């Protein structure tokens, strides 16, 4: 099915989350050709004009509040739409790739490593400090509203029920609604008293307690839990986990104080008390204190601050949107229909200049096609080639290079090293390396490819001629001027003989040679000399 579009430019691809206020979709901005998250309102919960107005106001407030918190710990807001008839109400936000909620790492009875829990709490405290400075109180801080990304960065989401602590700002509560979650609700919030930034600190204490002890502060029915928050002292963390440092035990206990004034002064003070418990820059975590397998490491932020991006880890795993489960049988007729639909949508998106979205759409059919036809079948390989070409056009050169390398090997296995598609993939992989600044590797690849092309089709075939031009331009880019001139001069002579002086490729080489500034250049009318760098 074609993607649902909102706001004339945002395509909704797949629902990735939902809650009381609405749904969150992975989508595409068709103007900027980038992935986004779109949070839409859930109209099924609106039963009256009053409810509609309340929802609309809360939604507008979320957009403005979240946009004002300028910190990487809160997903960035790109756009917000709220029309008069409430037919379209949504936020367009940064898509946090590969993140999972903190809740997904909390398993009853299994405490997390101390460094892991402290690193998550410190990042939350930093984010809260930016929000509280506005001032904004989250009011619903809980593991479900904390994301942990694959690189260990923590993000706090859903400020939709936050209350601005500014004069004249109305307190928003839907009739009958119970804001906040019982397991993380402060005593003052449960009793309807005024919330302050220290309300969020209580919730942070509940989160830290649960990550360290493997169980919530209080358990039971909602009324029982609220009653305990109001008047029951929690079991000290060290009574449940003897290896906790004294200072951490004291901090958690103070965060869970019944009276707000007995809690730490602010989120910055919490961070300062967590800081000595965090691993120092360059520290190595002992094997017995490492996070569980397949769990991101939030200590990386502190052990390697401002570390460079690890290139090998930048490409997310391919998403096969709408694909069948690996164990599901594949119906041939249904698959053929899906193939045609995906290919048609791919072509339309490419024609519209939305190359990255086109790549994503077509990749959604690769996995089921592989199960039906075989992963090494020509049909599947050509689908993968179309995906790689779209990524190349969309300037996702690193992901495209990896796919071209893999495809070159696959086509060579199927058809031999002299196969045209094998050669094309090798050429595109080399072009990707040029764009990525991997010039030495690109030069080696291009020379090896040219030697193979010459062995198959000679020196004057179309592929060989284009490769010789690319080789000359690459040598010039690397400031190897004499070699570049020799390659391009010989190529120009051959082009005059084979194609004549008016051929487009001949003109392009002539303009490149003219950049050397030696003799009078041959006549030229092409703009492609801009590709040459001296």
Facing residues of 384 across strands? none
CB 162 within 8 A of CB 139: yes
The DSSP 8-state label assigned to residue 134 in this structure reads T
The SS3 call for residue 26 is: strand
Which one is catalytic: 140, 200, 266, 431? 140
Q: How many residues does the chain have?
A: 534
Residues with Cβ < 8 Å from 270, sequence gap 6 or more? Answer: 121, 125, 201, 204, 251, 255, 264
In Å, the largest CA–CA distance within the chain is: 94
104 vs 264: CA distance, rounded Å: 28
The SS3 call for residue 287 is: helix
CB 328 within 8 A of CB 313: no
123 vs 128: CA distance, rounded Å: 9
- What is the separation of C-alpha 504 from the centre of its chain, rounded to a whole number of angstroms? 41
Facing residues of 137 across strands? 163
478 vs 533: CA distance, rounded Å: 9
164 vs 154: CA distance, rounded Å: 23
31 vs 466: CA distance, rounded Å: 33
The DSSP 8-state label assigned to residue 176 in this structure reads T
Q: What is the dihedral of CA 348, 352, 356, 358, to 10 degrees?
A: 0
Facing residues of 82 across strands? 89
CB 492 within 8 A of CB 511: no
Residues with Cβ < 8 Å from 475, sequence gap 6 or more? Answer: 443, 481, 483, 484, 487
45 vs 29: CA distance, rounded Å: 27
Which CA distances in Å does 239 have to 11, 66, 288? 52, 38, 21
Name the residue among 77, 6, 74 with its Cα closest to residue 41: 6
- Tokens at 520, concatenated: 């009078």
- Report which secondary-structure segment, H or E, holds 38: strand 34-41
Q: Is there a catalytic annotation at residue 140? A: yes
Residues with Cβ < 8 Å from 315, sequence gap 6 or more? Answer: 398, 399, 402
Axis-axis angle for helices 246-255, 267-274 (nearest 10)? 160
Catalytic positions, written as ranges: 140
């Amino acid at each position: 099915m074609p993607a649902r579009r909102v706001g004339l430019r945002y395509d909704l691809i797949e629902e990735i989350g939902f809650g009381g206020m609405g749904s969150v979709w992975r989508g595409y901005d068709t103007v900027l050709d980038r992935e986004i998250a779109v949070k839409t309102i859930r109209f099924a919960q609106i039963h009256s004009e009053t409810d509609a107005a309340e929802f609309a106001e809360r939604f507008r407030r979320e957009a403005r509040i979240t946009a004002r918190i300028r910190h990487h710990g809160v997903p960035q807001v790109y756009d917000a739409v709220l029309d008069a008839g409430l037919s379209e109400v949504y936020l367009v936000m940064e898509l946090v790739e590969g993140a999972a909620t903190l809740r997904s790492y909390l398993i009853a009875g299994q405490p997390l490593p101390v460094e892991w829990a402290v690193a998550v709490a410190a990042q939350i405290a930093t984010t809260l400090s930016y929000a509280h400075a506005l001032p904004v109180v989250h009011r619903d801080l809980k593991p479900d509203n904390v994301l942990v990304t694959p690189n260990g960065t923590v993000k706090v989401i859903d400020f939709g029920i936050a209350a601005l602590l500014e004069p004249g700002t109305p307190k928003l509560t839907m009739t009958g609604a119970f804001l906040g979650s019982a397991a993380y609700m402060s005593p003052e919030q449960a009793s309807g008293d005024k919330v302050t930034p220290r309300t969020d600190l209580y919730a942070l204490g509940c989160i830290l307690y649960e990550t360290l002890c493997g169980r919530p502060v209080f358990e039971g029915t909602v009324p029982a839990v609220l009653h305990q928050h109001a008047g029951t002292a929690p079991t000290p963390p060290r009574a449940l986990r003897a290896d906790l440092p004294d200072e951490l035990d004291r901090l958690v206990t103070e965060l869970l104080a019944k009276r707000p004034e007995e809690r730490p002064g602010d989120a910055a003070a919490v961070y300062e008390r967590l800081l000595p418990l965090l691993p120092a820059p360059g520290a190595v975590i002992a094997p017995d204190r490492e996070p569980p397998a397949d769990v991101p490491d939030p200590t990386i932020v502190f052990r390697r601050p401002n570390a460079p991006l690890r290139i090998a880890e930048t490409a997310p795993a391919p998403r096969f949107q709408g694909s069948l489960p690996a164990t599901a049988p594949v119906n041939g007729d249904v698959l053929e229909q899906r193939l045609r639909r995906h290919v048609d949508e791919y072509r339309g998106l490419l024609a519209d200049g939305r190359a990255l979205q086109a790549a994503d759409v077509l990749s959604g059919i690769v996995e089921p096609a592989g199960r039906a036809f075989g992963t090494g079948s020509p049909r599947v390989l050509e689908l993968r080639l179309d995906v790689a070409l779209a990524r190349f056009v969309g300037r996702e050169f690193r992901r495209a290079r990896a796919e071209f390398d893999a495809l070159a090997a696959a086509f060579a296995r199927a058809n031999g090293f002299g196969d045209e598609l094998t050669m094309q993939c090798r050429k595109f992989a080399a072009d990707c390396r040029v764009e990525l600044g991997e010039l030495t590797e690109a030069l080696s690849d291009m020379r090896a490819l040219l030697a193979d092309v010459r062995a198959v089709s000679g020196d004057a075939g179309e592929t060989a001629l284009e490769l010789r031009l690319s080789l000359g331009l690459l040598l010039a880019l690397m400031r190897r001027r004499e070699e570049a001139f020799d390659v391009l001069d010989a190529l120009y002579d051959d082009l005059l003989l084979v194609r004549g002086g008016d051929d487009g490729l001949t003109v392009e080489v002539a303009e490149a040679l003219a950049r050397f500034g030696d003799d009078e250049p041959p006549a030229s009318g092409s703009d492609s000399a801009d590709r040459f760098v001296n």
